[in-house]
Amino acid sequence: MLLDLFLDSNILINHFCEADKYLCSSQLIDKVENGDYIAWVSDFVYSEALGELKNRLEKRKGLKVSKGEVISKTELERMIETIETFKKTRHLNSTSVSLNQTMIYDRVKTLCIQAKDAPIVMCVEELEQKLKKNVYLVTADMDTLFFKAKRLVKTLHPSFHMEKCTSLCPSYFSCDWKNHFTNFEKKNHYLI
């Protein structure tokens, strides 16, 4: 049975901007495209990814604080177009969930996560409820979301599909995941 994965925005960003740096994220997207997994992405994750792309482009233009319109309409349209193209990836489902403020407050209080991460956890919960099977939240946010969300949903690092992290990966020595767990059986624990 194929695993259902919910992708966090950092996976999309790694794929969009740092595919050469984070091999695990880009290879995961390739595997989704090949039909090894079923991926779910929500509309607010796309919005977050768009915001991050915009920030990166502004920084690239040497601006710490955006004053006025520094990104042309064409550049913005190209960013939106890219995200729209990404939605056409095979075996990737774009979904939308209904949210309310009380539920967001509740998740923030329960998990002590950032408010922007609460809809992600809620979306995974809703998908699990509706699909009646496990949905794994895949996130590279090792500082907060990965560990904190684990109390409500199952979380995975984007490298879970790899047998072993390769030293050829440019982020091999700086990767948080590698620093947290050197024994790869530990991460497979979440799949059982």
Partner 1 sequence: MSFLSAISEMKLDQNLFMKLEIPNVLGKIFSAFKQLFDTIATIAHRLSNIEKLGIEENWAYETDPITGISILKVEKDPMAVKKTRNALKNLFQ
Q: What residues line the site for partner 1 (CB under 8 A)?
A: 15-17, 19, 29-30, 33, 43, 53, 56-57, 60, 68-69, 73, 75, 77-82, 84-90, 93-97, 127, 130-131
182 burial via Cβ count (<10 Å: 0-12, 13-18, 19+): exposed
Least separation in angstroms between CB 186 and partner 1: 29
Q: Is 4 helix (H, G, I), strand (E, B) or coil?
A: strand
Write down the least CB distance from residue 18 to partner 1, Å.
Answer: 10
CB of 147 to partner 1, least distance (A): 27
* Burial bucket for residue 62 (CB in 10 Å: 0-12, 13-18, 19+): exposed
Distance CA 155, CA 70 (A): 37
CB of 104 to partner 1, least distance (A): 19
The nearer residue to partner 1, 82 or 179, going by C-beta atoms, is: 82
Query: Are the beta carbons of 74 and 42 closer than 8 angstroms?
Result: no
Residue 58 corresponds to which amino acid? Answer: E
